[in-house]
């Protein structure tokens, strides 16, 4: 294997979360030249938003996700892997050697051109909530008043302030149910508002069902929010069923827990990348080696994996893709 970086195939990785960082590390060890393109000012991705112990990473049971992000970023720094911070991919063209990329620093006009042999999409998912409910009357006013939380764990810091209050949680999956369970430990009454039927795993669903039986939680199924209205005493939520108003409830605080969406929409404006096959809901479709339907383009981590979104699967996906890239570019390199 040559040590000359001039001869090493260049691989651009879009996204500096755990998946992108892991892929970069493995590519470097396999003798390639990785570049991370990150639209934020720091590496870490979703982990930077989760300041609580991560119990799911083997051998590191005492670290928070924020601390994990710090360790991963430090490792990438020690490996001298180049990173373009605050940068997005603006355009792409197919070239003889692979792809020509046009990168742009956010809020700047300067463009950087980069010739790469392969491209990895590692852009993760975003929390749905604000972008969906901002179409519902009254929602933006609640956000401005600080009466809504849209991030899956943002109720935890507020539990004490919810003591004796009435709270609505919107959503029917695991996050909605976990939020209801936490909130109900303090609130006088918690409403669980579901557009269809419950989608949570059995164990947490059963715990919430027990709270319903005890009268601590009131749930509505098959009900959509028609409007939010801030009143002098709190928030009025109008609920509709089959097109007509079915109920009005009054609460002090609202938490939305309606799921995630893959950060893959940006591909639609990027010429050839728009042709990449997707699975349902816009997740990027890959084979078992993280190859997409487009030659020399790979996808890893949450953006390609709706079924299991976690640090360790993101890290594993990065390694698998790096191995496939080394094989596809015929660069040799062994683990
Ligand atoms: C509330 C919550 C709690 C969680 N708790 C745990 C837990 O306890 N244990 C666990 O293992 N997992 C947990 N997870 C899941 C875990 O955080 C993710 O599975 C993991 O971060 C996925 O890594 P990723 O690299 O695929 O994506 P991300 O971490 O989302 O990183 C994607 C990166 O891509 C960047 N990016 C996005 N679009 C672009 C673009 N167009 N151009 C450039 N850069 C871009 C983003 O800024 C980000 O840095 C939790 C998730 C949430 C939301």
For ligand 1, whether the C-beta of 333 sits within 6 Å is no
- Closest C-alpha to ligand 1, atom 15: 310
Q: Is 89 found in the same domain as 40?
A: yes
- Is 222 within the bounds of a domain? yes
First to last CA, the chain: 13
Q: Is 133 found in the same domain as 121?
A: no
Q: How far is CA 209 from the centre of its chain?
A: 28
Q: Return the pLDDT at 243.
A: 86
- Closest C-alpha to ligand 1, atom 26: 301
Q: Is 96 found in the same domain as 152?
A: no
Residue 293 phi, psi (nearest 5): -75, -10
Domain range for 96: 5-126+260-328
The CA 93 to ligand 1 mean position distance, Å, reads 28
Which ligand 1 atom is at minimum distance from the Cα of 305? 26
- Residue 165 half-sphere exposure, CB side, CA atoms within 13 Å? 18
For ligand 1, whether the C-beta of 69 sits within 6 Å is no
Question: Are the CB atoms for 281 and 26 separated by under 8 Å?
Answer: no
Q: Is 137 found in the same domain as 238?
A: yes
Which ligand 1 atom is at minimum distance from the Cα of 15? 34
Which ligand 1 atom is at minimum distance from the Cα of 46? 29
Which ligand 1 atom is at minimum distance from the Cα of 52? 8
Q: Is 264 found in the same domain as 115?
A: yes
For ligand 1, whether the C-beta of 38 sits within 6 Å is yes
CATH no. for residue 35? Answer: 3.50.50.60
Q: Return the pLDDT at 6.
A: 67
Q: Is 157 found in the same domain as 81?
A: no
Q: What is the mean pLDDT of each run of 10 residues along the chain (335 residues)?
A: 66 98 98 97 96 92 95 98 96 95 90 96 95 94 95 94 97 96 97 96 96 96 96 95 93 96 96 96 97 97 95 98 95 65
Q: Is 137 found in the same domain as 104?
A: no
Q: Return the pLDDT at 2.
A: 40
Number of domains in the chain: 2
Q: Is 266 found in the same domain as 228?
A: no
Q: Return the pLDDT at 333.
A: 63
Q: Return the pLDDT at 3.
A: 43
Question: Are the CB atoms for 26 and 319 separated by under 8 Å?
Answer: yes
Q: Return the pLDDT at 1.
A: 37
The CA 30 to ligand 1 mean position distance, Å, reads 25
User: What global pTM score does this model have?
Assistant: 0.91
């Amino acid at each position: 294997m040559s040590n000359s970086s001039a001869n090493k195939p260049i691989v651009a990785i879009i996204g500096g979360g755990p998946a992108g960082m892991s892929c970069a590390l493995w590519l470097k060890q396999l003798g390639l030249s990785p570049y991370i393109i990150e639209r934020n000012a720091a590496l870490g991705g979703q982990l930077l938003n989760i300041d609580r112990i991560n119990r799911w990473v083997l051998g590191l049971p005492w670290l928070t996700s924020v601390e994990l992000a710090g360790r991963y970023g430090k490792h990438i720094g020690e490996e001298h892997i180049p990173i373009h911070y605050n940068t997005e991919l603006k355009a792409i063209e197919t070239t003889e050697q692979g792809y020509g990329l046009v990168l742009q620093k956010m809020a700047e006009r300067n463009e950087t051109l980069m010739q790469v042999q392969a491209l990895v999409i590692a852009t993760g998912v975003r929390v749905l909530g604000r972008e969906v409910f901002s179409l519902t009357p009254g929602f933006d006013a609640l956000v401005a008043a600080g009466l809504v939380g849209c991030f899956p764990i943002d109720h935890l810091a507020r539990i004490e302030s919810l003591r004796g209050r009435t709270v609505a949680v919107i959503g029917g999956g695991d996050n909605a149910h976990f939020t209801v369970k936490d909130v109900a430990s303090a609130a006088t009454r918690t409403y669980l508002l579901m557009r269809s039927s419950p989608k949570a795993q059995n164990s947490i669903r059963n715990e919430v069902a027990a709270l319903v039986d005890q009268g601590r939680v009131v749930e509505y199924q098959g009900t959509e929010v028609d409007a939010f209205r801030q009143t002098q005493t709190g928030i009025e939520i109008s609920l509709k069923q089959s097109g007509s108003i079915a109920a009005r409830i009054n609460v002090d605080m609202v938490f939305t827990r309606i799921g995630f969406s893959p950060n893959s929409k940006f591909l639609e404006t990027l010429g050839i990348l728009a042709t990449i096959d997707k699975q349902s809901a816009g997740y990027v479709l890959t084979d078992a080696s993280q190859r997409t339907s487009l030659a020399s383009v790979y996808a890893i981590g949450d953006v390609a994996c709706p079924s299991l979104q976690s640090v360790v699967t993101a890290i594993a996906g990065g390694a698998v893709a790096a191995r496939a890239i080394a094989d596809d570019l015929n660069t040799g390199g062994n683990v």
